[in-house]
Structure 1
Amino acid sequence: MTLFKVAQLARTAAARGSRSYSSGMFTNAGYEASREHARGAVETWKKISLFVALPSVAIFSYVATKDELAHIHHLEHDPPKFVGYPYLHVRKRKFPYGDGEHTPFWNPLTNPDPEE
């Protein structure tokens, strides 16, 4: 088979393939059936969101808040003991914000000062 014949067959196959992608969905009945299916799916997910997802978020938020408040209360009464390892609190120069000794995320409840 010559190269010309192969190219001609490829062009013919490509032309035939591009014309055979029509579908019955684009008819009026297929389009309406697709819309009805979409309406049902929207209603299903709306109900799942309202009756499952939102109550779950509310319940887990309550539980997490309760546990976190208990943890904070525990830290106020029994703070962690500071162990002054030599690699901690090494400063070659002061931080350019605040008092220069604490990072922006320093928390007095969870990050004790070495001076105390």
Structure 2
Amino acid sequence: MAKLVMFSARRFLQTSAKRAAVEVEGPSAISGGPEGGYKIWKNISIFIAVPAIALCMVNCWLEHKKGHERPPFVAYEHMRIRTKRFPWGDGNKSLFHNPHANALPDGYEDEH
């Protein structure tokens, strides 16, 4: 019985694979030929992705030139809670601490 089930399953998979391979015609990304969908992706990369990256780069550069004004410090009791010291430095500053942008529990460093 098991032999008959295995034979039927193998035959079904072989015929469906042959049928699927025959149905693919013309330029396609899965046809296996050199005329696949690479042309579409190449054009999308050149005419859409590259200009989009350039626009994002210009936007970042213009925003950086404007400068940043940091928000005023408000001592909310639910923020900047230190239940345990950090294992580096003085234990109060995070690993990627920026004294201009990141406040300590008692305020910005240069305001003291």
**TM norm structure 2:** 0.57
Cα distance change of structure 1 residues 63 and 24 upon mapping to structure 2, 3 Å threshold:
closer
Deviating beyond 6 angstroms after TM superposition, the runs of 4 or more aligned structure 1 residues are: 30-33
15, 20, 33: which one pairs with 1:20? 15
1:3: which partner in 2? none
Matched letter for residue 74 of structure 1: H
CA-CA distance at 1:64 after TM superposition? 2.5
Deviation at residue 50 of structure 1 after TM alignment: 1.2
The residue type paired with residue 50 of structure 1 is: I
CA distance in 1, matches of 2:78, 2:14: 72
Structure with max Cα Rg: 1
Quote the residue 1:52 is aligned against.
48
Task: Give 1:4's aligned residue.
Answer: none
**Distance change in 2, residues 1:99/1:69 (3 Å):** farther
More helix by share: 1
1: distance between equivalents of 2:27 and 2:83?
72
In 1, the alpha carbon distance for the partners of 2:20 and 2:83 equals 74
Q: Aligned letter for 1:54?
A: V
Structure 1 Cα separation of the partners of residues 20 and 68 of structure 2: 67
* Structure-2 change in CA distance of 1:16 and 1:83 (3 Å): closer
Note the residue ranges of structure 2 that are not aligned, 5 or more in a row. Answer: none
Higher relative contact order (CA 8 A, sep 6+): 1
- Percentage of pairs with the same residue: 26
Deviation at 1:99, TM superposition (A): 2.5
Corresponding position of 1:101: 92
Alignment coverage as a number of residue pairs: 99
How far apart are the structure 1 equivalents of 2:27 and 2:65?
Answer: 54
> 1:25·1:31 contact (CA, 8 Å) conserved in 2?
no
Name which of structure 1's ranges 43-52 and 82-91 shifts more when overlaid on structure 2: 82-91
Q: 1:36 Cα shift? A: 5.0
Distance 1:108 1:65 in 2: 22
1:62 offset after TM fit, Å? 1.2
